[in-house]
Amino acid sequence: MKLHTKNLFLAFFMLALLASCKDRPNAKEPEKIAKEQNKANQQHTVEQKNADYSSYLVDVVHDQLFEVELGKLGKRKSNNEKIRDFAGELEKHHESRLQKLNALASDMMYAVPHNLSDKQWDEIQDLEKTNAKNFDQKWLEVVISKHNKAADVLIDAINNVDNYNMRTQLNETLQEVRSHLEAATFIKNKQLK
């Protein structure tokens, strides 16, 4: 019992340490670290089946983090009012969703990433370097692509998760992602022509 308590304390301490890095993360692959941590904690999980779901939640949270940064970038860099407004909505909705998913992860005792991976940061930086003339089109292409991939991840998770609370959160997230995908496609097809 003491060993179990020490391991849980150590895991939560490591989570707090990782979460304290707000700006540029030191970890190259925070989603991989979270998945490894969940795998290590699997033997200490009361509900063994819950540990199987952690990778889904890690992937969904990781996508949400990227969408928040995409929203911030779109607000900051776009010269198009419709895109700036949409980017603000993306940021707001994904931050709100992140809070709910982080609460779920905490309830289920899962470690989730709190920073973007190097690959995601590089993608944001590359997009930021896009000239003003091409930015809106490129930004919308990335938003649409990422939301399509996020929808696929969510559908896979929903089809494989039995936990009611997690499934509910995943369904709500999927509805939001589809709404954003529809809005981004509309803006790309109607507003930028």
> Residue 151: which CATH number?
1.20.1260.10
% pLDDT > 90, the chain: 67
Residue 51: predicted pLDDT? 47
**Helices (H), ranges, 26-130:** 30-41, 48-77, 81-107, 118-128
**Spatial CB neighbours of 38, under 8 Å, sequence gap ≥ 6:** 51, 54, 55, 58, 110, 111
pTM: 0.74
Q: Is the pLDDT of residue 192 over 90?
A: no
Indicate the number of domains in the chain.
Answer: 1
Q: Residue 69 phi/psi, 5° resolution? A: -65, -35
Model confidence pLDDT, tens digit, residues 96-151: 999 999 999 999 989 999 999 999 999 999 999 999 899 999 999 999 999 999 99
CA triple 25-29-33, angle to 5 deg: 100
Q: Which domain holds residue 79?
A: 2-191
